[in-house]
């Protein structure tokens, strides 16, 4: 085929790609943190024995998991202002990413919590620990360990999902790429470059996740 | 500004048809290869483990959109004409198998070692050890994560628009641009997604309950 | 639960009392009309064939299992399922599980220091000092930094005992605390328990170590098929068992040793 | 193919946009529709032939014409010097005015008044370019995916103004009557029908057709139908963009 | 592994032989220069204090732990870490774990029928028949449809024994097979094992049931701190132990019973 690659035009815009990448990293990081908090708190409530305590969390999970992220971010960005809550694109993006990731995290972590043997929880109670302590000190860590790869996969996915935030004009890698593409018409070069950058970012994340797991889950198992 | 009438709804439903078909392709391709990836990733062979973790890093780490783009247009650059269905099947399989592979690897590793040891001591060979002992227990741990991913895959099929499928989201976009009612249109699209994803969550929790019967 | 009015004599020296307790697992009747009252400082040995409900009984006392009928009162607290009652009881009653249930993500020392810190509000230093004291008492202080997965079965069992002792509870429930131990260790653990008994600890102990029963127990209770079949002082229990079921059981024990 | 050949063949293949409402788009019953479609249909009627639409993407409009995949372009082609080197434009038949829209309550006299505002535009559109050129250095430009999202941004208050084209006024009115108005016009571009360079018969036929429908009110009617505006006045000439084959 | 040449007498009646086996857990030396040879049909009792390496030793024979030095040969097969050797050995050697390791997602019957079906290729009907036979032998056939979580500790242990027997192996490794049992049940299980012994089954059994050792064992092996300290026929072992360590250990046993 006659297509000749020319990355020059793309590399000329390296600073934009750099700032875009930082934007993506920032959104991903903040979104992940929020998602983790929502996930852990949510699962604590989700595994309650009392049905009406569980119910709102279940509803939250079902609604968020089963609707597209785009719809959620549109809702927060465009519909909330009609009710008087106006958030800027970056805040919107972080909240949307956190809520979305959090809903998945709740379910993933629940899988881990339910893999903990009843005996562990009973032992905690028998020692006189309160429910919250049993969850925090006894259940949480082994649960997270059991589903760690699923959870980190979800976080990698969340990192890639930041690209959707371009649709509410948040500044991140994909929106930078789209501008460069529309200015240079070098679609292939732009896509390949951006793909490579995403790969670097997510590999970095996976590396960090692996380090965390090595130091946090360093206990042997039988 | 146009109203949203029967025509528009019908158009969305036609998009839904593609969404469902694409999701089925992803489920099957991702499920079959995902199991393989998970098994290779937990095998004893250093090289196989390394290769599969590279595979996971590559296909988890790049956006599905880019994978579709590369498979469809990139390969076309090399002079090979790729049918859109083939492109979608390949890209979704790569993407889904990387994620499901990683999810299932984790749950395989979460099954207590004593279980594998007991299976070993009974002389069970690899296939039986996995199929009869490890995977059923792993599946239980991974159920919520698996269902979560499959639901995301259904929604991820919207990216197939880039190779020309007018699936649900794309159909919604087209209608939104005709009617200038993005909130309403995407609200409807959201509800339709909900209606196809929710049964899946339901099936998931049903399966979980069945497996919980044999709980500890 | 009906019948919240207490029928049992609730005199102030009674620490634990069970009154007409009934427990079902689905359609399986695990405990049948259990009446039992344990005074402060009393040592009770619970024995009986496998599956007779011994574990179930002590799990009920600690509110790990819900009962379907009857009352359980511990230190004047009616176990009525409210969080407060349950918490209060669990703080005062220690338990050693049949299968240990050590926390895999904590070292031996952390396993033992956890409850003193979180329940009694001790400082880390104090909690660890306490933990070391009891780990030493069960001869396992040298393993303090290991994780449970790195211990042999008997070592795990001793950690479980030390962990329960670290709460310094008023009463202890032991579920076969010497099953995984070799005879040397059995002796040491039993000696530890005898020491506790001398210090006035109330104990209910599921065990088939008849030596221990003879030496320490105030009463031996024999269960079969979810019922208390016989209940007597050790002397009487071993020499003159009343029921045939007990006789058969004791026959086995004596034949076998 | 010449005009005569097409007449004898009986079918005119028209290159048109497939997803740019209201100019040219495939409607929800799968049929090609829009302003361009109406004008092209009228043109085919003039020739006495049937019309077949070939929906095209922005980037492949010119190649499709030059390689003969289509006979003529009614494809929302803004007339630029650059493009006039590759294709022959007809006289203009539509205008595209890019303006700033904002709430009536906000006073805007000149571009200086919007300094510091958040201004929405559809990503990579001609509005994007025009607004960025004019106020990009003083205001914050928010780039959305499409017109629908841009308009929603203004309505939701996420943007204080938007860069829009002539349709925006009507749509903003439909959403909230009387709230918004056109503030500043940045520029007007004109669309022409595209034919291959040097094909005099096509150029003359199209120009004659356009003169006719401008004269008899048919173009005005189509404009009213799709844009809800009156027929704009068209320039007699544009520098460096010839309307006729020399 | 170095030194693949076998030094031990590999006469055809030797079923299991360990030669200069060394095992480390990280820096912890768990097995030290273990030499042991077990003839076909021989019954060996392994005893010793908690943490002395008994479980580790039998886990090594079944290739569940890798050894760092020395050789293990089972039925003429050198355990060299290849899958083939390991599979062949495991098919012939059954094992009962100290902590049972039942499969929680299978009923008792399924637990037992699995290996016969998958390893010996038996039909489901045959496998279940076999399973029922051995479940009956350990007196637990009535629990066949329950899941492990629904069983008491002793019931679980008996299922674990039945499961291993269902493979009809040439040799059995028992890791404290009676620890969770009440005396009645201990007697029944030991009777089962005595039956197996009479049928010519080769056995290595970690246990502190000295009655069993006296009655059944051909040899008693005493371990301490990862070493084999003493090895003798039961008569000699109990009457005339050579080493002080052994004497101390036996002293405890006798004192305690
Ligand atoms: N979750 C459950 N569902 C059904 N049956 C159960 C459940 N838990 C226990 N059981 C049954 O209840 C009976 C009593 O069990 P328990 O554990 O109290 O016995 P035990 O006297 O402690 O026996 P062991 O000495 O073997 O430990 C057993 O027959 C057991 O099968
Ligand atoms: N994974 C491990 N890492 C480190 N040390 C270990 C590990 N597994 C076992 N050990 C140590 O090895 C020693 C031997 O353990 P083993 O389980 O063989 O003892 P045992 O003789 O079976 O004792 P018991 O009678 O208590 O079951 C113990 O001191 C134990 O702490
Ligand atoms: Mg029990
Ligand atoms: Mg052991």
Percent of chain E with pLDDT over 70: 93
> Residue C155 Cα, ligand 4 centroid: separation in angstroms?
9
pLDDT digit string (tens) for C67-98? 999 999 988 888 887 778 888 888 889 999 88
Question: Which residue did the predictor score with more confidence, C138 or A59?
Answer: A59
A2 pLDDT higher than 50: no
E153 lines ligand 2 (CB under 6 A): no
Residue C253 pLDDT: 61
Chains C and D touch (3+ CB pairs under 8 A): no
Does C184 sit in the ligand 2 pocket, CB within 6 Å?
A: no
Give the nearest ligand 1 atom to E143 CA. Answer: 31
Instruction: Tell me the chain B residues in contact with residue D30 when contact means C-beta distances shorter than 8 Å.
Output: 11
Q: Can the peptide bond before residue D22 be classed as cis, meaning omega within 30 degrees of 0?
A: yes
pLDDT at position C254 is 58
**pLDDT: which is higher, B178 or E23:** E23
Low-confidence ranges of chain D (pLDDT < 70): 28, 59
Least confident of A193-197, B146-150, E83-87: E83-87
Among E102, E115, E148, the residue with its CB nearest the CB of B123 is: E115
| Model pLDDT, residue E2 | 38
Supply the pLDDT for residue C4. Answer: 37
What pLDDT sits at residue C238? Answer: 84
What is the E227 CA–ligand 4 centroid distance (Å)?
14
Residues from chain B contacting residue E105 (CB–CB below 8 Å): 136-137, 140, 211, 214
Tell me whether residue C195 is exposed, middle or buried, using C-beta atoms within 10 angstroms of its C-beta: 0 to 12, 13 to 18, 19 or more.
exposed
Q: Whose CA is nearest to atom 8 of ligand 2?
A: C150
Could you tell which of E24, E53, E223 is best to mutate to test the pocket of ligand 2, judged by most ligand atoms within 8 Å of the CB?
E53
The average pLDDT across C234-241 equals: 86
CA-angle at D134, arms to D131 and D139, nearest 5°: 75
C48 touches chain E (CB under 8 A): yes
Q: Is this prediction's ipTM beyond 0.85?
A: no
Q: Read off the pLDDT of each residue in C43-47 and give the average, rounded to a whole number.
A: 92
Distance from CA of B187 to the nearest CA of D (A): 14
Interface touch C249/E190, C-beta < 8 Å: no
CA D122 to ligand 4 centroid distance, Å: 71
* pLDDT, position A131: 87
* pLDDT(B173) > 50: yes
Distance of CA D159 to the CA centre of its chain: 24
pLDDT above 70: residue C56: yes
Q: Which atom of ligand 1 is nearest to the CA of E154?
A: 26
- Evaluate: CB of E149 within 6 angstroms of ligand 2: no
In this predicted model, which residue has the larger pLDDT, C239 or C21?
C21
Q: Percentage of chain C surpassing pLDDT 90?
A: 45
Task: Answer whether D143's CB lies under 8 Å from D149's CB.
Answer: no
Beta-carbon separation of A126 and C150 below 8 A: no
- The reported pLDDT for the residue numbered E138 is 83
Query: Among A8-12, C184-188, D77-81, E121-125, which is the least confidently predicted range?
Result: C184-188
User: What local confidence, expressed as pLDDT, does residue E195 receive?
Assistant: 82
Predicted confidence at residue E12, as pLDDT, reads 54
| Among candidate residues C84, C83, C57, the one with its CA nearest the CA of residue C72 | C57
pLDDT tens by residue, C107-121? 999 999 999 998 888
pLDDT of C255 > 60? The answer is no
pLDDT for C53: 92
Q: Which ligand is nearest to the CA of C153?
A: 2
A127/C90 touch (CB, cutoff 8 Å), yes or no: yes
pLDDT tens-digit readout, E4-44: 333 344 445 888 999 999 999 988 999 999 999 999 889 99
**Centroid of ligand 4 to alpha carbon of D69 (angstroms):** 82
Which residue, among B168, B161, B153, has the nearest Cα to B200 in the 3D structure? B153
Q: Do C153 and E25 touch (CB under 8 A)?
A: no
CA distances from E185 to A32, C140, C223, C225, D170 (A): 55, 30, 14, 14, 89
The CA radius of gyration of chain B, in Å to the nearest whole number, is 20
Rg of chain A over Cα atoms, rounded to whole angstroms, equals: 21
Residue E28 Cβ inside 6 Å of ligand 2? The answer reads yes
Q: Is E246 in the pocket of ligand 1 (CB under 6 A)?
A: no
Q: Rank A15-19, A33-37, B82-86 by mean pLDDT and report only the highest.
A: A33-37
Query: In chain A, which among 47-76 make CB contacts under 8 A with chain C?
Result: none
Tokens of B127: 């296939």
Shortest-distance Cα residue to atom 19 of ligand 1: C51
- Of the listed ligands, the closest to the CA of E57 is 2
The tens digit of pLDDT for each residue in E148-174 reads: 988 887 888 889 989 999 988 889 999
Ligand 2 proximity of E52 Cβ (cutoff 6 Å): yes
Task: Output the pLDDT for position B1.
Answer: 44
Question: Cα(E135)–Cα(E160) distance, rounded to whole angstroms?
Answer: 10
User: What is the rounded CA–CA span in Å between residue D164 and residue D166?
Assistant: 7
D-chain residue closest to A80, CA distance:
D156
Are there at least 3 beta-carbon pairs closer than 8 Å between E and D? no
The more confidently predicted of residues E86 and A58 is A58
Looking at the complex, report in whole angstroms how far the Cα of residue A146 sits from the nearest Cα belonging to chain C.
Answer: 12
Higher pLDDT, D20 or B27: B27
Predicted confidence (pLDDT) per residue in C134-155, tens digit: 999 888 899 999 999 999 888 8
Q: How far apart are CA E120 and CA C109, in angstroms?
A: 46
User: What mean pLDDT is reported for chain E?
Assistant: 85
pLDDT of residue B216 exceeding 60: no
C191 or A129, higher pLDDT: A129
**Residue range E130-134: mean pLDDT, rounded:** 94
Residue among B119, B124, B214 whose CB faces E104 most closely: B214
Closest atom of ligand 1 to E149 CA is: 1
Closest by alpha carbon to E207, among E44, E8, E16, E9? E44
Residue nearest to atom 12 of ligand 2 (CA): E30
Q: Could you tell me how many CB contacts below 8 A there are between chain B and chain E? A: 76
Cβ distance E218 to E204 under 8 Å?
A: no
């Amino acid at each position: 085929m006659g297509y000749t690659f020319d990355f020059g035009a793309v590399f000329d815009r390296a600073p934009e790609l750099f700032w875009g990448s930082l934007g993506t990293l920032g959104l991903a990081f903040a979104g992940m943190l929020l998602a983790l908090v929502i996930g852990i708190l949510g699962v604590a409530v989700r595994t309650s024995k009392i049905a009406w305590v569980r119910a709102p969390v279940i509803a939250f999970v079902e609604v968020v998991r089963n609707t597209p992220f785009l719809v959620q971010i549109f809702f927060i960005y465009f519909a909330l202002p009609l009710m008087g809550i106006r958030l800027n694109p970056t805040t919107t993006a972080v909240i949307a990413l956190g809520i979305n990731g959090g809903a998945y995290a709740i379910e993933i972590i629940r899988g881990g919590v339910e893999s903990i043997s009843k005996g562990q929880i009973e032992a905690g109670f028998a020692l006189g620990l309160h429910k919250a302590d049993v969850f925090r000190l006894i259940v949480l860590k082994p649960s997270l360990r059991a589903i760690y790869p699923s959870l980190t996969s979800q976080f990698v996915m969340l990192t890639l999902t930041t690209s959707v935030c371009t649709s509410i004009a948040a500044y991140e890698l994909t929106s930078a790429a789209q501008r460069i593409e529309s200015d240079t018409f070098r679609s292939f070069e732009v896509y390949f470059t951006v793909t490579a950058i995403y790969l670097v970012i997510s590999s970095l994340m996976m590396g960090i996740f692996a380090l965390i797991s090595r130091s946090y889950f360093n206990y042997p198992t039988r | 500004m146009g109203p949203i009438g029967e025509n528009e709804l019908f158009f969305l439903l036609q998009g839904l048809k593609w969404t469902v078909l694409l999701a089925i392709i992803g489920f099957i391709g991702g499920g079959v290869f995902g199991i393989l990836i998970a098994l290779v990733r937990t095998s004893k062979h250093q090289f196989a483990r390394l290769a599969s973790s590279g595979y996971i890093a590559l296909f988890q780490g790049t956006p599905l959109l880019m994978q579709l783009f590369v498979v469809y247009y990139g390969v076309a650059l090399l002079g090979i004409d790729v049918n859109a269905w083939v492109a979608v099947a390949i890209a979704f399989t790569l993407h889904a198998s990387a994620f499901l592979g990683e999810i299932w690897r984790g749950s395989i590793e979460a099954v207590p070692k004593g279980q594998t040891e007991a299976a070993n001591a009974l002389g069970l060979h690899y296939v039986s050890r996995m199929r009869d002992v490890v995977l059923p227990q792993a599946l239980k741990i991974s159920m919520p994560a698996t269902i979560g991913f499959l639901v995301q895959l259904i929604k991820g099929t919207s990216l197939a628009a880039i190779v020309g499928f007018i699936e649900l989201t794309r159909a919604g976009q087209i209608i939104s641009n005709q009617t200038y009612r993005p909130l309403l249109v995407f609200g409807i699209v959201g509800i339709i997604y909900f209606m196809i994803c929710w049964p899946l969550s339901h099936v998931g929790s049903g399966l979980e309950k069945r497996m919980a019967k044999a709980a500890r | 639960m009906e019948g919240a009015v207490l029928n049992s004599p609730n005199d102030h020296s009674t620490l634990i009392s069970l009154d007409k307790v009934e427990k079902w697992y689905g359609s399986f009747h695990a405990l049948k009309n259990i009446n039992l009252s344990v005074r402060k400082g009393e040592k009770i040995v619970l024995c009986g064939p496998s599956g007779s409900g011994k574990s179930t009984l002590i799990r009920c006392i600690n509110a790990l299992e819900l009962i379907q009928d009857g009352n359980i009162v511990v230190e004047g607290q009616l176990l009525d399922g409210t969080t407060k009652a349950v918490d209060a009881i669990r703080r005062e009653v220690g338990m050693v599980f049949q299968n240990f249930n050590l926390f895999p993500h904590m070292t031996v020392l952390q396993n033992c220091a956890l409850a003193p810190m979180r329940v009694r509000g001790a400082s880390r230093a104090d909690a660890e000092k306490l933990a070391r004291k009891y780990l030493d008492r069960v001869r396992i202080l040298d393993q303090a930094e290991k994780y449970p997965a790195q211990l042999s079965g008997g070592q795990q069992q001793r950690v479980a005992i030390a962990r329960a002792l670290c709460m310094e509870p008023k009463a202890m429930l032991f579920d076969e605390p010497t099953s995984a131990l070799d005879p040397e260790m059995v002796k040491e653990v039993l000696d530890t328990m005898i020491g506790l008994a001398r210090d006035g600890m109330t104990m209910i102990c599921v065990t088939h170590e008849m030596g221990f029963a003879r030496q320490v127990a105030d009463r031996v209770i024999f269960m079969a098929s979810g019922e208390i079949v016989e209940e007597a002082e050790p002397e009487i229990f071993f020499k003159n068992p009343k029921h045939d079921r007990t006789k058969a059981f004791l026959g086995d024990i004596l034949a076998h040793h | 193919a010449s005009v005569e050949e097409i007449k004898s063949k009986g079918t005119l293949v028209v290159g048109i946009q497939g997803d740019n409402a209201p100019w040219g788009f495939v409607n929800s019953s799968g049929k090609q529709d829009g302003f361009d479609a109406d004008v092209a249909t009228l043109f085919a009627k003039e020739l006495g032939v049937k019309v077949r639409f070939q929906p095209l993407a922005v980037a492949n409009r010119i190649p499709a014409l030059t390689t003969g995949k289509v006979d003529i372009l009614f494809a929302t082609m803004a007339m630029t010097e650059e493009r006039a080197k590759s294709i022959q434009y007809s006289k203009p038949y539509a205008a595209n005015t890019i303006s700033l829209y904002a709430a009536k309550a906000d006073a805007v006299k000149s571009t200086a008044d919007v300094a510091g505002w958040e201004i929405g535009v559809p990503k990579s559109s001609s509005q994007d370019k025009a607004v960025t050129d004019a106020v990009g250095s003083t205001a914050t430009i928010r780039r959305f995916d499409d017109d629908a999202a841009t308009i929603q941004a203004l309505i939701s208050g996420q943007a204080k103004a938007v860069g829009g084209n002539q349709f925006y006024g009507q749509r903003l009115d439909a959403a909230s009557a009387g709230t918004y108005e056109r503030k500043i016009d940045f520029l007007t571009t004109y669309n022409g029908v595209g034919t291959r360079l040097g094909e005099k018969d096509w150029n003359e036929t199209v120009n004659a057709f356009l003169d006719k429908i401008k004269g008899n009110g048919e173009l005005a009617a189509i404009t009213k139908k799709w844009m809800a505006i009156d027929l704009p006045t068209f320039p007699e000439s544009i520098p460096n963009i010839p309307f006729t084959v020399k």
